[in-house]
Structure 1
Amino acid sequence: MSSNSIPKVDLTGLRSSLPGGDRWEAAREVVAAALHSHGCFEAVFPSPSTDLREEMFGSAAPELFSLPLESKLRSISDDAYHGYFGQIPHLSFESLIINGVDSPIAVQDFTRLMWPPEGNSTFCNNVTAFAEPLRELVEMVQRMIFQSLGVDQKQQDSFASSITHSLRLAEYGVPLNQDTKIALDAHLDPHLLSVICQHKIGGLEIQAMDDGNWIVVPPAPASVTVIAGQSLQAWSNMRVRAPTHRVRMLGKEKRFSVNYSIRPSRNSIVKSPAELGEDDDRPLLYKPFNYTEFVEFIYSEKGMGMSPKDAFNSYCRLEN
């Protein structure tokens, strides 16, 4: 039987730049176990402060999504799912993504796109400050994964040089289908790793891998949710597993969320390090694949006609 909650890990006081010591090693073991058993965990960490959360969810996000559709559509991308996303017939959902959010210049460029020509300095400052602790958390978890898998420095450098940092802001209206209360359909994330920050109004649910039950992840003022994506599952040769998740809203209030993620850069090849496929008990499970082409496939008519897991496996899984 699955638990009614996801694993919780206290990372307070740890830093990605100081990857050692008893507390680090103990936390690393819990993180590795959680990402294999659940594909996610609740991270207690110096996440964005109460004031920053109020600025982001009470001001910045509502201001962004109140812009006219033609303004939001200026946030376009050559890559599917990595620009403006919305206007879905059966869902009241929109999202906008800031690519390269680890650079303040990218945030400034985004605001000039949304509020031309000067931009929006208040929004820019709020997003930059909000993203900083989430970036630190992602880098810490990334380093713990490398250590737990025994990946050498060359592979770590290759991984780090071919990823993009992004911040996705999302607005969820009252679910159109009041019978199901589904605000975002069950799905798997195609990228590597993400940190989801909810605020006051929850809705995130993660499907347990052992029995398929849905685990409600309530918002918490001092923690965030770390979720693995399909590319990390393939890269780790399934030592990390990507969980199915959805958004289900029981109330009638609008919901905002922030998702900080890392993904393979455009046309990067996702390939499991050789040492992760040399174990007789765990042969190589996934073939190398082009991340951009993979995302295009899962959002194609053929990919959308499959379940998320079937689409992933049909495109990436080796036939052993």
Structure 2
Amino acid sequence: MGSDSKQVSKIPKIDLSGLHPSVAGGERWEAAKAEVAAALFSHGCFEAYFPSSSDELREAMFGSALPEMFALPLETKRRLKSDDVYHGYIGQIPHMAYESIAFDDPVSPTAVEEFTKLMWPEGNSSFCKTVEAFAKALHELVEIVQMMIVESLGVEKHYDSLVSSTTYAVRLSEYGVPLNQDTKIALDPHKDPNLVTVVCQSKIDGLEVQTFDGDWVNVDPSPNSLTVMVGQAFQAWSNMRVRAPYHRVRVLGKEKRFSAIFFSRPSHNSMVKSPEELGDEDHPLLFKPFSYTEFVKFLYSEEGRKAKNPFNAYFRIGNEEAA
């Protein structure tokens, strides 16, 4: 179980072109929804063909915006502060050639402008417009996926309450040549704590996902293709109907790799609660309502880091069903 060699991707690929959350329904929507549900129930992730993330937008992100930002002086990048765990600037980690910057509410032009001014007080309209366009495109994709999951679970009436307590963030990352040349790992295996994650890779690949049978498979970047993954908050909200996959980054070459990630998560201090309809005799509700903020704090606490399965440890689940 769990080979370290790169394998041909087994991740399902689904065409979501032409779909929009504001016009859900119809034969095309229902067919795509069935594919999304099957992929997430079996793999926790899939590759989405979504042309809103055009070649031009990717070139602007990875050919200009991200290299320009990460080339800024360290003291400039550290201006971004956050009270949230694993947000703001992250870098200078002893065993990793990795830097990232994460900030909230990228679907708001004001928030993007404020972040841009923090990095470039003199302004940088090109960077600002690129990130705004990227966030707009991926926000649409996240809304489509979340709506399809809720509909597939038969709990559509809870969609509005889920979205009303959802916030969004973007993470921009740079991966250098891994310090450990034996494993080539640039980012350790982990599961995302949030609701839904969408990963956009540069032309240099590196993202690997572990299938539920234990194999690590490479996710090849392709034009207009994005990787969609379920996070642990959705795992709990869905009462384990969908599960978050382990994933990691391995950089095999000598060039820097960039990625841009858009994700949804429960809003600060909101309570995550599984719909009552998702519990029955065969699948009793496993989780009491919990604070997402406290959950994330535990995952990155000393106790959480030491736990073999932090998710299970937080919820005091003693079996492997919630692995």
Q: Could you tell me the TM-score, scaled by structure 1's length?
A: 0.94
In structure 2, what is the Cα distance between the partners aligned to 1:106 and 1:8? 33
Question: 1:289: how far off?
Answer: 1.5
In structure 2, what is the Cα distance between the partners aligned to 1:60 and 1:3? 30
Determine if the alignment matches structure 1 residue 158 to structure 2 residue 157: no
Distance verdict in 2 for CA 1:316–1:96, change over 3 Å? same
Q: Which residue of 113, 116, 122 corresponds with 1:111?
A: 116
Corresponding residue number in structure 2 for 1:141: 145
Q: For this pair of structures, how many residues does the alignment match?
A: 314
Q: Which amino acid aligns with 2:153?
A: L
Counterpart contact for 1:29–1:148, Cα < 8 Å: yes
Q: Which residue of 159, 174, 178 corresponds with 1:171?
A: 174
Q: Which residue of 206, 221, 224 corresponds with 2:226?
A: 224
Counterpart contact for 2:304–2:313, Cα < 8 Å: no
Counterpart contact for 1:57–1:256, Cα < 8 Å: yes
| Poorly superposed stretches of 4+, deviation over 2 Å | 1-4, 316-320
In structure 2, what is the Cα distance between the partners aligned to 1:317 and 1:52? 44
Question: 1:319: how far off?
Answer: 6.4
Distance verdict in 2 for CA 1:94–1:22, change over 3 Å? same
Q: Which residue of 12, 17, 20 corresponds with 1:15?
A: 20
Q: Summarize deviations over 1:187-232 as a string: whole Å, max 9, x none.
A: 000000011001210000000102x110110111121000110000
**Unpaired runs of at least 5, structure 1:** none
In structure 2, what is the Cα distance between the partners aligned to 1:318 and 1:214? 26
In structure 2, what is the Cα distance between the partners aligned to 1:274 and 1:218? 39
Question: 1:52: how far off?
Answer: 1.2
Within a 5 Å distance, the mapping from 1:28-177 to structure 2 comes to 28-116=33-121, 118-153=122-157, 155-177=158-180
Counterpart contact for 1:47–1:223, Cα < 8 Å: no
Q: Which amino acid aligns with 2:16?
A: L
Counterpart contact for 2:99–2:173, Cα < 8 Å: yes
In structure 2, what is the Cα distance between the partners aligned to 1:293 and 1:269? 10
Determine if the alignment matches structure 1 residue 300 to structure 2 residue 304: no
CA RMSD of aligned residues (A): 1.6
In structure 2, what is the Cα distance between the partners aligned to 1:287 and 1:205? 32
Distance verdict in 2 for CA 1:196–1:45, change over 3 Å? same
Name which of structure 1's ranges 166-175 and 43-52 shifts more when overlaid on structure 2.
43-52
In structure 1, what is the Cα distance between the partners aligned to 2:31 and 2:266? 29
Counterpart contact for 1:287–1:318, Cα < 8 Å: no
